[in-house]
């Protein structure tokens, strides 16, 4: 009786345990870990506010924003399909000559056929103060004629590891002659 039971037990449990084992083997590149292992056990997530001005310089001999894909439809009123690669200065004040605190590196593209909406993918590389060397990554929708636009902060590096939050944009100045723009950025970000 006992032997029969054991055989039955083995018969039923062996395939089951090997199934579990196979599952573990398939996922052994993932493990859970303790906050201690990243020295985060005593750290509180904190909220920071960053404010600076973003300069989109498309005119002149030294542009920071360069069209790399021209709008494919010549009659598009929204430049649908246009892609600009940027390394735009981030300054403390609205003047380009004010203190440079970082660079916005990335690209934006025109994604609407009915109004000027941009998709923006940017890394804000901070070069000043305590956050020098840390980055914040933004990916969002920018309907440029809205008074206030909001884009998600989707991550960060260095002191901005685990970053999440949002950026609010307000056009500070725009020249319809050159298409150069200065935009105020207020960033609200949770990080450790």
Contact 160, 46 (CB under 8 A): no
The Cα–Cα gap between 168 and 163 comes to 16
Choose between 76 and 168: whose C-beta lies nearer to ligand NAG.
Answer: 76
**CB-nearer residue toward ligand NAG: 14 or 77:** 77
Provide the 3-class DSSP secondary structure of residue 191.
Answer: strand
Choice between 13 and 132, CB closer to ligand NAG? 132
- Identify which of residues 128 and 150 has a Cβ nearer to ligand NAG in the complex: 128
- Are 85 and 70 contacting, i.e. CB atoms less than 8 angstroms apart? no
CB of 76 to ligand NAG, least distance (A): 7
Least distance to ligand NAG, CB of residue 73, Å = 6
Q: Which residues are at the interface with ligand NAG (CB under 6 A)?
A: 73, 75, 127-128, 132-133
| Cα–Cα nearest to 92, from 150, 53, 133 | 53
Which residues fall within 8 angstroms of residue 147, CB to CB, at 6 or more apart?
A: 170
How far apart are CB 45 and ligand NAG at their closest, in Å? 25
Residue 113 Cβ vs ligand NAG, minimum distance, rounded to whole Å: 8
- Least Å distance, CB 127 to ligand NAG, is 6
Contact 166, 153 (CB under 8 A): yes
Q: Looking at beta carbons only, is 19 or 127 nearer to ligand NAG?
A: 127
3-state secondary structure of 70: coil
Q: CA 188 to CA 148: how far, in whole Å?
A: 14
Q: What is the DSSP letter of 12?
A: H
Tally of residues, the chain: 192
């Amino acid at each position: 009786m006992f032997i029969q039971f054991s055989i039955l037990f083995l018969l039923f449990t062996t395939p089951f345990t090997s199934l579990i084992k196979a599952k573990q083997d398939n996922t052994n590149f993932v493990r859970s870990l303790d906050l201690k292992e990243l020295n985060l056990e005593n750290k509180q997530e904190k909220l920071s506010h960053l404010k600076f001005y973003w300069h989109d310089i498309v005119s002149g001999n030294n542009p920071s924003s360069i069209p790399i894909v021209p709008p494919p439809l010549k009659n598009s009123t929204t430049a649908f399909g246009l892609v600009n690669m940027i390394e735009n200065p981030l300054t403390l004040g609205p003047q380009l000559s004010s203190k440079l605190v970082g660079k916005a590196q990335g690209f934006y593209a025109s994604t609407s056929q009915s109004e000027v909406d941009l998709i923006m993918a940017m890394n804000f590389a901070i070069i000043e103060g305590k956050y020098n060397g840390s980055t914040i990554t933004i990916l969002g929708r920018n309907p440029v004629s809205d008074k206030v636009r909001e884009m998600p902060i989707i991550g960060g590096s260095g002191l901005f590891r685990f970053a999440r939050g949002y950026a609010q944009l307000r056009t500070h100045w725009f020249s319809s002659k050159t298409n150069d723009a200065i935009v105020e950025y207020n960033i609200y970000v949770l990080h450790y």
